[in-house]
Structure 1
């Protein structure tokens, strides 16, 4: 029975992100029986959520095997939405918590540095994030944060996921420096091996 691991990248990111690549290389080398999937998501958060939802539904429908999620930043928020919707375990890396509360300054034009795709976010996109709001069942999460995250206040994640397994590291940044130190523990936590 093949387990599946879905990595959900964040805003202005892609499957080419360092963490997605590190986890993929680790899984391929150490757990070749795990099906590792990193979808290239829309730059629009609502569309990205729909893409992930369809992927999770397809995995659950086609396989009677364990499924785990890893999400970074806004991908951590989307992983939380999916984990609650489908009763799945998830590892969250510097996750965005209630992103509608701080995303207004993202309204306007952007370019994804990985894909070089130009796009715009609107007030309706931010409202869509609010509509996705969730209350986490804390036993299903492992939250990894670094205190020097320059994008998100790590303390919001500590409050939101209170009662979950937590790893809080001094220093670091939003990319979560040294993520590769946790790769084996990620697979173990998700009970995929």
Structure 2
């Protein structure tokens, strides 16, 4: 059965993010467009997980999760819940974050759509912390991430395959060169 990649974007982001677009274009170039899914995630954490869980319950084929930043948090949680492989790119470690700093009004980077992130949303994120089987994970980090401390991710996902690159930034600058390996990780 043909597997697919489910790409999960970060906070205030969308399927229009540069990593999602690049990976979608590479999958299309390889004739694998039908095996790439990148939904727009709700800014409400419980809703995002509910929507993704419904999708995973209905898909009927092997899925590999790739999540960036907050999408990495979601990918980790879903990998634990569904027993899936996941690649986590500069992922958010909710237990190491002061998530309260995100309370307030935000705008989506791509659509400009505004939303309010609340204390209830922070609690929803805290309830989504789960540790998947480290053998199913690939952690990709850049030490120059200016938003999240890469060392928190190293510690949180200890025992998983880890690729740590010097420099870079939160966007994970090495993404284009690692796309072939991510597709191979997904078994495609």
Tell me the TM-score normalised to structure 2 length.
0.95
Q: 1:100 to 1:125 in 2, by over 3 A?
A: farther
Question: Which residue number corresponds to residue 121 of structure 2?
Answer: 125
Question: Which residue number corresponds to residue 149 of structure 1?
Answer: 145
Question: Which residue number corresponds to residue 184 of structure 2?
Answer: 188
1:114 to 101, 110, 113: 110
Once the two structures are superposed, the pairs formed by residues 96-111 of structure 1 within 5 Å of their partners are 96-98=92-94, 101-111=97-107
Give the paired residue count: 188
Structure 1, unmatched stretches of 5+, are none
**Alignment of 1:69 onto 2:65:** yes
* Shift >6 Å, 4+ stretches: none
**Alignment of 1:45 onto 2:40:** no
User: Residue 2 of structure 1: CA displacement?
Assistant: 2.2
User: Residue 136 of structure 1: CA displacement?
Assistant: 2.7
Structure 2, unmatched stretches of 5+, are none
CA distance in 2, matches of 1:168, 1:113: 27
User: Residue 128 of structure 1: CA displacement?
Assistant: 0.8
Taking only aligned residues, the RMSD between alpha carbons, in angstroms, comes to 1.4
User: Residue 33 of structure 1: CA displacement?
Assistant: 6.7
CA distance in 2, matches of 1:84, 1:165: 16
CA distance in 2, matches of 1:187, 1:139: 17
Tell me the TM-score normalised to structure 1 length.
0.92
Question: Which residue number corresponds to residue 35 of structure 1?
Answer: 35
Q: Deviations over 1:108-132 (max 9, x none)?
A: 1111121111110111110111111
CA distance in 1, matches of 2:41, 2:186: 22
User: Residue 181 of structure 1: CA displacement?
Assistant: 0.5
Secondary structure of 2:6's aligned partner: strand
Alpha-carbon contact 1:2-1:34 (below 8 Å) kept: no
